[in-house]
Amino acid sequence: MLKKFTEGLVFGSGFGIAFLTLWYVAAYVVSPMLYSSTLDNRAADYSISQNAKPQMPASPNPEKSPESASQFHELKYEEQIKKATVIALARYELSPDGRMKAIIKDFLKKDPGTVIHYKVGDEYASSSYSPKPGTNYGDGVIIFFVDSPAQMKLAMTFEGDRIRGLGDLPLELFTNKCKAPNA
């Protein structure tokens, strides 16, 4: 009787381990692949249905369309300046609650007719942060917007008079390039 009980226990344990192994494979390997393909199909269906609907008016400048801005971060900074419809400079200011708020101080570039929902003096909350010991986020941030209404595409910090994300490019040189007539 004890022998039969032990054999049943071993058989049940083996069956349980096999069940758990199959469940793991299904949950962590197969399901994400199925879910991903479902999302891809939904995205394709959505883009097809969007193509069937009336389109928004074309961007006044075809170079600044969402399609060309999709790889915005890979462009050279001169091209980023050209493709951006708005470039804002925000500086970090300590607020009474201890947070560092990114306050827009200047628009280095703003194409005529571009709608932007920020003005000088507004907080750009996406770049604000709560300071942590041992971290340095610089003195401010340069924010690139594309299209109209303007949508944020890229932000990079600066410290002192150097923009870190552009190989320590001087802020003054960057500002001059943004304000140049052919920018």
* Interatomic CA distance for residues 33 and 26, integer angstroms: 10
- Which residues of the chain fall short of a pLDDT of 70? 25-26, 29-70, 182-183
Q: Write out pLDDT tens, residues 96-114.
A: 999 999 999 999 999 999 8
pLDDT of amino acid 53: 44
Residues 155, 90: contact at Cβ < 8 Å?
no
Contacts of 138 (CB under 8 A, 6+ apart): 92, 157, 158, 159, 164
Residue 25, pLDDT score: 67
d(Cα 25, Cα 47) in Å, to the nearest integer? 32
pLDDT at 183: 58
How far from each other are the two terminal CA atoms of the chain, in whole angstroms? Answer: 89
